[in-house]
Amino acid sequence: MPTPLKILVPVKRVIDYAVKPRVNKARTAVETAGVKHSMNPFDELSIEAAVRMRERKNPPVDDILALSAGPAKCVDVLRTAMAMGADRSIHVEIPDAGQGQAELEPLGVAKLLAKVVAEEGPNLVILGKQSIDDDSNQTGQMLAGLLGWGQATQASKIEFDDGDRVSVTREVDGGVETVRFPLPGIITTDLRLNEPRYASLPNIMKAKKKKLEKKTLSDYGVDEGRRLKTVRVEEPPPRKGGGKVEDVDGMIAKLKELGAI
Amino acid sequence: MLLTTRHSAFRQAQCYLRLSRTFNRQQQSAFARLLSSLAVLEQREGKLQSASLSAVTAAQKLGGSITGFVAGSRVRSVAEEAAKVRGLEKIIMVENGAYDKALPENYAPLLAENIKKGGFTHVFAGHSAFGKNLMPRVSALLDVQQISDITVIEGEDTFVRPIYAGNAILTVQSSDKIKMITIRGTAFTAAEAEGGSAEITEGVDPKVEIKTEWLSEDLAKSDRPDLATASKVVSGGRGLKSKEEFDRIIPPLADALGAAIGASRAAVDSGFADNSLQVGQTGKNVAPQLYLCAGISGAIQHLAGMKDSKVIAAINKDADAPIFHVADVGLVGNLFDKVPELTIKLKQ
């Protein structure tokens, strides 16, 4: 009988992927006020992966815990996670987060998660491979390092065998590779892993009754000291959209003129 | 010996002078101490991966001494190859087959030990699948907040990186003792593979036992130039409609130009092209001399991966497609007519 899974899925509230971010006037951060936010797309894949594990029942899934650290509005993404199938959630409130400076860095998040793991006892943590705001691609690997657990990043396929081992196919440069490790372990999700479901209205209603615990960083003894100071945030240099050409000959002529061919 | 000392003193002075022109006075004082970088070099099956030589270039931009690091079985020949790379003073080599697949579970403690022993101030690796998988784990072991995917080095502690899919450019200053950095390959060209004569030394091997096993890999085989480093890229999107059409239309154009093939997420998701060809925020970043795309609308996430290309050319039937806002050369038309015509005319 395989060991039941207890899964922790950290989720992040980010500016919606379809929104074009704008740098604020003070050049200190990207403008977040009044901008549509959603769950980080890779985190949706993580929740979906956890819920599919439950549906497959082999190994059985005892618990899916969603966690988010950030401002009050993170509750929205946690409710979404629970509407998709997470059993319960923890919101680690960081009151000033979202103003750029106070947000935890990946190392801070990893340290927080390591404490959560110690307290909640999951044997599998599924994270997104990167958040689409900071684009760091670090937290899962850092957590694995802190815990000394096996890691499989950029997963496109996850399979369990009968001996508590998980095989993960990873997207790497030039193709895929498959690694296998016994639980406990860390998996980070890549786009090709699955297609996240939409939360149905009844499930959204049910999610409102699921348990959502409020915590603070000090509950876990994690300080939010930052190692990186934002010097400035700028708009990238704009590209001059060049003119259009009439036909293929025009395109070839222009490419020659630009020295591209 | 004297020669070496004089040489390195000269280099130091030289680097100080070079840097002092670009750095402000406050930052200059930080250069009083010696900078010492480690460039983590990737090897596969006894071959040095030339893309990882971008890490050497980044370290050269910083100044100070540069050491290369390689690990794996029969790695001496890789170390010898790396020793010829211009800019490297020393190679640390760890010969142990346990590191062949660069599993971070044992490679990270290996690297952490060698970083501590060598007293490096900066560690550079490419923001490749290898660097992405490995470096954050090493950073956590060293209690360092890594800086990912940098494009510019402004000072010994100040680095520039794109965030929000390249829609904002962040400059950060690190207060960590060791700067752990992954670099965007397209922002730092690979160091020259000839002209150096580094000394090869053996590193420490903590031989951490791990439970992770490497099972298999399935790499797309291709004679074409590598997508990430190609000087020309031909890319197809949803507009190709099917894998058959993608294969019929795109490779001949790529052949005519000697280009690598890329694809949009839509094309990959629809199964027209392999995952590893995806260009964009979550795929590959490319910055070729020419990026020629057909049937790609130009979503934010796609632009993130190609908008640093020198020349962008686009063929799309929708005159309002966002791709035309960034394209240097835009042709509005049916790609099923225009691309084959372009292919034929380029061959002439």
User: Could B141 and A145 be called an inter-chain contact, meaning their C-beta atoms sit closer than 8 Å?
Assistant: yes
User: Could A191 and B220 be called an inter-chain contact, meaning their C-beta atoms sit closer than 8 Å?
Assistant: no
pLDDT for B181-210, tens place per residue? 999 999 999 999 999 999 999 999 999 999
What's the average model confidence in pLDDT over A152-157?
98
Nearest to B237 by CA among B342, B131, B177, B321: B321
Indicate if the pLDDT at residue B25 is higher than 50: no
| Rounded Cα–Cα distance for residues B325 and A63 (Å) | 48
Lowest mean pLDDT segment, chosen from A109-123, A196-210, B8-22, B153-167: B8-22
Using 50, 70 and 90 to split pLDDT, how confident is the model at A131?
very high
Q: Which residues of B touch A254 (CB under 8 A)?
A: 313, 328-329
User: Could B148 and A15 be called an inter-chain contact, meaning their C-beta atoms sit closer than 8 Å?
Assistant: no
User: Could A138 and B169 be called an inter-chain contact, meaning their C-beta atoms sit closer than 8 Å?
Assistant: no
Q: What is the pLDDT of residue B50?
A: 87
By the 8 A CB rule, do B122 and B181 touch? yes
Find the residue in A nearest to B148 (Cα): A136
The first and second tokens of residue B178, run together, are: 């060791």
**What SS3 class is residue B124?**
strand
Mean pLDDT of chain B: 91
Q: Which residues of A touch B217 (CB under 8 A)?
A: 172, 175-178
pLDDT for A27-55, tens place per residue? 999 999 999 999 999 999 999 999 999 99
What's the average model confidence in pLDDT over A224-253?
91
Output B135 or A237, whichever has higher pLDDT.
B135
- Indicate the burial class of B29 (C-beta count within 10 angstroms; 0-12, 13-18, 19 or more): exposed
Q: What is the pLDDT of residue A102?
A: 65
User: Could A138 and B146 be called an inter-chain contact, meaning their C-beta atoms sit closer than 8 Å?
Assistant: yes
- Which of the 8 DSSP states describes residue A37? E
| Rounded Cα–Cα distance for residues A43 and B312 (Å) | 32
Q: What is the pLDDT of residue A98?
A: 53
By the 8 A CB rule, do B162 and B127 touch? no
Helices (H), ranges, A86-236: 106-120, 139-147, 201-207
pLDDT for A180-229, tens place per residue? 999 999 999 999 999 999 999 999 999 999 999 999 999 999 987 899 99
What's the average model confidence in pLDDT over A151-180?
95
User: Could A141 and B104 be called an inter-chain contact, meaning their C-beta atoms sit closer than 8 Å?
Assistant: yes
| Rounded Cα–Cα distance for residues B115 and B340 (Å) | 53
Using 50, 70 and 90 to split pLDDT, how confident is the model at A97?
low
User: In 10 A of CB A95, how many CB atoms?
Assistant: 11
User: In 10 A of CB B20, how many CB atoms?
Assistant: 13
H/E segment holding residue B172: strand B168-174
Using 50, 70 and 90 to split pLDDT, how confident is the model at A241?
confident
Residue-wise burial string across B295-332, b where 16 or more C-beta atoms lie within 10 A, e elsewhere? bbbbbbbbbbbbbbbebbbbbbbeeebbbbbbbbbbbb
Helices A139-147 + B104-118 axis angle, to 10? 80
pLDDT for B51-94, tens place per residue? 899 999 999 999 999 999 999 999 999 999 999 999 999 999 99
User: Residue A59 contacts by C-beta under 8 Å, 6 or more apart in sequence?
Assistant: A2, A3, A4, A5, A53, A160, A164
Kindly state whether A135 is in contact with chain B, defined as any CB-CB distance less than 8 angstroms.
Answer: yes
pLDDT for B300-334, tens place per residue? 999 999 999 999 999 999 999 999 999 999 999 99
Using 50, 70 and 90 to split pLDDT, how confident is the model at B2?
very low
The answer for A 14-53 residues in CB contact with B (under 8 A) is: 15, 17-18, 20-21, 23, 30
**What SS3 class is residue A251?**
helix
Q: Which residues of A touch B262 (CB under 8 A)?
A: none
Mean pLDDT of chain A: 94
Q: Which residues of B touch A140 (CB under 8 A)?
A: 136
pLDDT for B201-242, tens place per residue? 999 999 999 999 999 999 988 889 999 999 999 999 999 999
Residue A37 backbone class (left: φ over 0; alpha: ψ -120 to 50; beta: rest)? beta
- Indicate the burial class of B275 (C-beta count within 10 angstroms; 0-12, 13-18, 19 or more): buried
Indicate if the pLDDT at residue B337 is higher than 60: yes
Q: What is the pLDDT of residue A175?
A: 92
What's the average model confidence in pLDDT over A68-96?
95
| Rounded Cα–Cα distance for residues B82 and B42 (Å) | 10
B301 annotated as ligand-binding: yes
The answer for A 169-198 residues in CB contact with B (under 8 A) is: 170-182, 190-192
| Rounded Cα–Cα distance for residues A65 and A75 (Å) | 14
Find the residue in A nearest to B108 (Cα): A145
Using 50, 70 and 90 to split pLDDT, how confident is the model at B33?
low
